[in-house]
Amino acid sequence: QLHLVESGGGLVQPGGSLRLSCAASGFTLNYYAIAWFRQAPGKEREAVSCFSTSDGMTYYADSVKGRFAISRDNDKHTVYLQMNSLKPEDTAVYYCAAALTWSSSAWSSAPWYDYWGQGTQVTVSS
């Protein structure tokens, strides 16, 4: 079975940092595009960042550019999202997702992804 498990969420003050982890089991990260999405209450799920296996590129939503960084450790089968300078509007449930195929034009489209984790809550508040 294929599983993605997120961890690292929590409560942090504005301006603080968190690092989310997405641990994969049942498949090899090398062969997938891995992305982070988030969903705030009452809002649609939105793409945050993606690491493409086919071209090695990383992609970010405009709202997080310069503050968030995605990385992966293939030996540990884990993808990370380092989040700095957090803002209250970053509050959401964060999900990692894996896609079997790649399209740079589709990286931010949730239906493109085949596997999802259960999510981890991030709350930015003073």
**What pLDDT, on a 0 to 100 scale, did the predictor assign at position 41?**
92
**What pLDDT, on a 0 to 100 scale, did the predictor assign at position 28?**
76
Query: CB atoms < 10 A from the CB of 30, how many?
Result: 9
Longest dimension (CA), the chain: 40
**What pLDDT, on a 0 to 100 scale, did the predictor assign at position 104?**
83
**What pLDDT, on a 0 to 100 scale, did the predictor assign at position 56?**
83
**What pLDDT, on a 0 to 100 scale, did the predictor assign at position 100?**
87
* DSSP-derived secondary structure for 54-113: TT--EEE-TTTTTTEEEEEEGGGTEEEEEE-S--GGG-EEEEEEEESS--TTTTT-GGG-
Tokens of 28: 């090899």
User: pLDDT of 49-92, one tens digit each?
Assistant: 999 877 788 999 999 999 999 998 888 999 999 999 999 999 99
